Every structure is written in structure tokens, then in C-alpha cells.
Amino acid sequence: MKTLKNLFLDELADMYDAEHRIIKALPKLAKAATCEDLKAAFQSHLKQTEGQVKRLEQVFQAFGEKAKGKKCEATVGLLKEGDEIAAEFKGSPSINAALISAAQKVEHYEMASYGCLHEWAGLLGNRKAADLLQETLTEETDTNRSLTDLARASSNEEALSDTDTASSEAAEAKTSGNLARGNRPASSQPKRQAALRR
């Protein structure tokens, strides 16, 4: 029979693997960002994540267990999506908004996971572990909030300006008529129809 402690240790191993993967991913996100504040945020969170790994090791110790990881499929998928977004939007004014979106998906997964771990540690009567996990949960929540602030301060507006440019270019192409592609300006249609009636 699996117990709450089994579930706790399983999820703890999942997050231990996740944090190691995030440590490898953050430098790539920082490199892809064109906003200096976003680069700095990713670099800062890298140092924070390294501390979170050490904290997880303390949580394992608090339960008399050796730290070990279990492949976190959710984080693997989220980071893969982040890589794809970075490649797809490279050079686009939307790149920073896209990177923030990818990072926040990871943050929300971490917030949900650490929220559960914190509650379970309390239920299992391990106050030291619960306090350590609360510290990490607070950091993840603060990071997510900082990313939202960065998006609202500049990145979303940059992405919107890209949309405005694309819309104006499309409108201009539509009104001018692209004869090279077989489209005629609207003004030429009545003459053509009159010629056909003769």
C-alpha cells in the first residue's frame, strides 16, 4: 500500500530532477532574450535555482533519505516547448514575450508542485521540511510575479508593435493590389467587365 510519505518522496524526486533541468535551460533562455532586464532576471533565477537544489537535498535529509531524481516528464515537455518558442521567434519583436510565457509555464508547474509538497510535509509532521519547501514556494511565486511585471512593462508592448506592423503591411498590400500575384486593383474591375460585355 502506497502512503502519503511515498507520494511525498516521489514528488520530491520529481522536483529534484526538474530543478537540475531548469539549471541547464536558464542560460539558454537568457541568451535568447533581447531585453536586458529579462536576461538579468533569468540569470538571477539561475542562482536562485541552484540554491533550491541544495534546499531540496536538505528536505531529503530531513526525512532520512538520500537525494535522488526521477525524470520529470512535465518539465521535459515544458522546456522542450521553450526551446521551440525561442527558435521560432528568434529575431522577432515578440521574442521576449514568448520567452516569458515559456518561463511562466515552468514557474506555475513549480508553484503547484511545491505547494503540494509543503502541505504534505506539514501533514507528515516534518516542520523543518515544510519550512524549507515554503521558502522555495515563496521564491517561485516572487519569480512568477517579476516575470509578469516585466511582460507588462515592456515585452508585451514590443510584441504588440510587431502585430501593428504586420497588420498595416497586410492592409497596404490589399489596397494597392498585387499584379505580380494576379490580383488587380479594384478600380480596374469595371473596365474589364465592360470589355467582356461587348
User: What percentage of residues in the chain have a pLDDT greater than 90?
Assistant: 78
For residue 161, the model assigns a pLDDT of 81
Read off the pLDDT of each residue in 150-162 and give the average, rounded to a whole number.
89
Residue 122: HSE in the Cβ half-sphere, 13 Å Cα cutoff? 9
Query: Does 107 reside within a domain?
Result: yes
User: What percentage of residues in the chain have a pLDDT greater than 70?
Assistant: 81
For residue 186, the model assigns a pLDDT of 44
For residue 191, the model assigns a pLDDT of 44
Question: Is the pLDDT assigned to residue 184 strictly greater than 60?
Answer: no
pLDDT digits over 54-94, tens only? 999 999 999 999 999 999 999 999 999 999 999 999 999 99
Query: Does 24 reside within a domain?
Result: yes
Query: Does 110 reside within a domain?
Result: yes
Query: Does 170 reside within a domain?
Result: no
pLDDT digits over 47-61, tens only? 999 999 999 999 999
State pTM to two decimals.
0.80
Query: Does 21 reside within a domain?
Result: yes
Q: Which of 8-12, 38-42, 70-74, 167-171 has the lowest mean pLDDT?
A: 167-171
CATH at residue 8: 1.20.1260.10
Query: Does 84 reside within a domain?
Result: yes
Task: Convert 23-48 into a string of H (helix), E (strand) and C (coil).
Answer: HHHHHHHHHHCCCHHHHHHHHHHHHH
The domain containing residue 49 runs over which residues?
A: 4-161
For residue 1, the model assigns a pLDDT of 86
The number of distinct structural domains making up the chain is 1
Query: Does 89 reside within a domain?
Result: yes
Long-range contacts at 156-163 (CB < 8 A, ≥ 24 apart): 156/97, 158/35, 158/93, 158/94, 158/96, 158/97, 159/93, 159/94, 159/96, 159/97, 159/98, 161/93, 162/92, 162/93, 162/94
Question: Is the pLDDT assigned to residue 194 strictly greater than 60?
Answer: no
Query: Does 168 reside within a domain?
Result: no
Could you give phi then psi for residue 101, rounded to 5 degrees? -60, -45
